[in-house]
Amino acid sequence: MEQIFDLAIIGGGINGCGIARDAAGRGNSVFLCEMNDLASGTSSWSSKLIHGGLRYLEYYEFRLVREALIEREVLWQIAPHIIRPLRFVLPHHNGLRPGWLLRLGLFLYDYLGGRKLLPPTRSLNLTRDETGLPLAPGRFTKGFEYSDCFVDDARLVVLNARDAVERGAVIRTRTRAIEATQANGIWQIVVENTLTHARETITARALINAAGPWVEDVLARGTGANARAKVRLVKGSHIVVPRLFAHDRAYTFQNADGRVVFAIPFQDDFTLIGTTDQDYEGDPARVKISDAEIEYLCASASEYLAKPITPKDVVWTYAGVRPLYDDGVSEAKAATRDYVFELDTSGGAPMLSIFGGKITTYRRLSEEAIERLESYLNGKKAEEGWTAGSPLPGGDLDIAALPALTNELLRDYPFLDHGHASRLAHAYGTRARRILGLAKSASDLGQWFGATLTEAELKYLVAQEWAVTAEDVVWRRSKLGLRLSAAEMATIDDWLAGYGSGHAIRPDIRGRA
């Protein structure tokens, strides 16, 4: 007999995978399809921050900021391998926001969300503090230092998906929802494998449209839903340059246009600078940074730095489209980052569409989404907020334990160098040993592809994390693309193609690891 899932989800970004995890953990049968790779849309092109959104206070988004501030420490504790605290330096720029306003905003930032673990704001004398050294001499004398967190955004998505599967969910990547219709109070979703073009029909009692920038496209696929909410596509672009400063703090640079640009330590040897905010029209899959945006980011950072940045310094760029809820404001920078749900039950079976949201609040969004559909689902009444206390895969360690884990890997696998052990610890946490296994030497890990990537790791990524292409591996499961040549990446693709033909790589992973 064909299985009728309690819940079907369209979209494998942070919201879709977060909802799949929460729903499966509540005892629901869950099916999720993603037309490309997990996190291949908006979720892997963020500024890599778990943050409250200091500048959102200017738009009186107090509820959103409070929720996000609370979530910083929750997420840090359930995924301490991929999330780490990060101190931000905010130089005071004469002529822009006055010092008293910055102090007031940072006071609210410290106390609005009940901060417990992260250190509080402090004032800086930039003529004496080391964080003043990279700045233009004589221009910035006062500043503030406050807390937020850095996250490996794409890995956060994958780990939510992995945990969902281990709780019984079915996750299929490279699987497009072609049509969604209702019959006798049950959703019938026609899905197509984009690799083989094979089609099948999935049935479910409830449907969640978490397609991000494509949310309105999904609504048009025969659903019959007539959502009142609209999505506003806003492009955010980033550049990566060689490391600009030796210390471990990030910067928040204010611009005359009212925006802020972050300069963040990235992958040890680089600095990440972003983001822009521009309304976007066109196919979200084809979004690219423009020359004007590169110039804008270089100029914004150069306004503050002793050594200006030019487009020639840029080693990598990326751009993504944020599917914000269209609240009718005139400027993209002022559009709300809050999320909005549209529940349609006109045909009998419920369909919940998600507009907006930000990566920091995905877990609370997921809880609320399931609560909206609770009366339609067969799962047990969940413990409220169970996801807040359950570590993501590999995250079952103390928030300060990563150095100790790296040292344990070096002790147990003495053929590793420190950089390799540290990378595995930060990416996989306690599951790093599943990759290293019983290896006694470097050769036991199989072929080496460069930048510490081994055959053993590739096999793990295929079997456990839905990796199919080199792009999946070097730009989403890691950022090793910054260190690998085009020829090395081609070798990875060749290996994956060969391994797939012999080991039946499928974009459908289910069951326990």
Statement: residue 494 has pLDDT above 80: yes
Average pLDDT, stretch 103-117? 90
DSSP single-letter state for residue 322:
E
Average pLDDT, stretch 377-394? 83
Statement: residue 336 has pLDDT above 50: yes
Contacts of 38 (CB under 8 A, 6+ apart): 12, 13, 17, 154, 157, 158, 161, 171, 173, 466, 476
Determine contact, residues 113/50, Cβ cutoff 8 Å.
no
Determine contact, residues 489/481, Cβ cutoff 8 Å.
yes
The pLDDT-based confidence of 512 (bands split at 50, 70, 90) is: very low
Rounded Cα gap, residues 84 and 144, in angstroms: 20
Query: What does the pLDDT read at residue 510?
Result: 45
Query: What does the pLDDT read at residue 191?
Result: 97
Determine contact, residues 153/359, Cβ cutoff 8 Å.
yes
Task: Assign 3-class secondary structure to 139-196.
Answer: CCCEEEEEEEEEECHHHHHHHHHHHHHHCCCEEECCEEEEEEEEECCEEEEEEEECCC
Average pLDDT, stretch 365-382? 84
What are the two backbone dihedrals, phi and then psi, of residue 165, each rounded to the nearest 5 degrees? -65, -40
Rounded Cα gap, residues 410 and 307, in angstroms: 38
CA 467 to the chain's CA centroid: 16
Helix locations, 167-289, DSSP H: 215-219
230 SS3 class: coil
DSSP symbols for 73-90? HHHHHH-TTTEEEEEEEE
Query: What does the pLDDT read at residue 96?
Result: 82
Task: Assign 3-class secondary structure to 97-123.
Answer: CCHHHHHHHHHHHHHCCCCCCCCCCEE
Query: What does the pLDDT read at residue 95?
Result: 81
Rounded Cα gap, residues 69 and 72, in angstroms: 5
Q: Which two tokens stand for residue 509?
A: 């992973």
Could you report the per-residue pLDDT of 234-257, keeping only the tens digit for each? 999 999 999 999 999 999 999 988
- Structure-token match 């080496």, residue found: 448
Determine contact, residues 30/373, Cβ cutoff 8 Å.
no
Query: What does the pLDDT read at residue 385?
Result: 85
Rounded Cα gap, residues 499 and 492, in angstroms: 10
Query: What does the pLDDT read at residue 499?
Result: 87
What are 183-192's contacts with CB under 8 Å, separation 24+? 184/348, 185/348, 185/349, 186/4, 186/349, 187/8, 187/349, 187/351, 189/8, 189/10, 189/33, 191/33
For the chain, what is the mean pLDDT? 92
CA atoms within 13 A on the CB side of 418: 4
Query: What does the pLDDT read at residue 414?
Result: 98
CA 378 to the chain's CA centroid: 29
Statement: residue 513 has pLDDT above 90: no
